[in-house]
Amino acid sequence: GCPLVRDVFELTGDFCRVPKRKCHRHYCWEKLRRAEVDLERVRVWYKLDELFEQERNVRAAMTNRAGLLALMLHQTIQHDPLTTDLRSDR
């Protein structure tokens, strides 16, 4: 039977004992319960998608920060001819 609730959302743990075909109080409760489960699944998938997007942004930020030293070295200008070139492998 239909799970009984208190204050619309609190499950009591009890069930309606009237046969399904004779119970007019809980009409189509199975469809409503399936819809609730589907809605919860959609919410979880949406949250998971948001978390994947955040992870992608964090990884991109980490990659950009890791390339900062190379970027700085590639744009280094040697002002003093007596110093060694920072871009060389020596």
User: Helix, strand, coil shares of the chain as percentages rounded to 5?
Assistant: 50, 10, 40
Full-model pTM: 0.54
**Range from 17-21, 39-43, 58-62, 84-88 carrying the lowest mean pLDDT:** 84-88
Give the Cα separation of 33 and 36 in Å (integer): 5
Radius of gyration over every alpha carbon of the chain, rounded to an integer in angstroms: 31
Examine residue 15 and state whether it is found in any structural domain, yes or no: yes
As a whole number, mean pLDDT of residues 18-29 equals 77
Q: Of all helices (H) and strands (E), which one includes residue 6?
A: strand 3-6
Q: What is the pLDDT of residue 87?
A: 58
Q: Do residues 51 and 39 lie in contact, with contact meaning Cβ atoms separated by under 8 Å? A: no
CB 3 within 8 A of CB 11: yes
Tens of pLDDT, residues 42-62: 999 999 999 999 999 998 888
Name the domain count of the chain. Answer: 1
Q: Judge whether 48 lies within some domain.
A: yes
Domain that holds residue 68: 3-72
State the pLDDT confidence band at 69, using cuts at 50, 70 and 90: low
Q: For position 28, what pLDDT does the model report?
A: 78
CA 85 to chain centre: 47
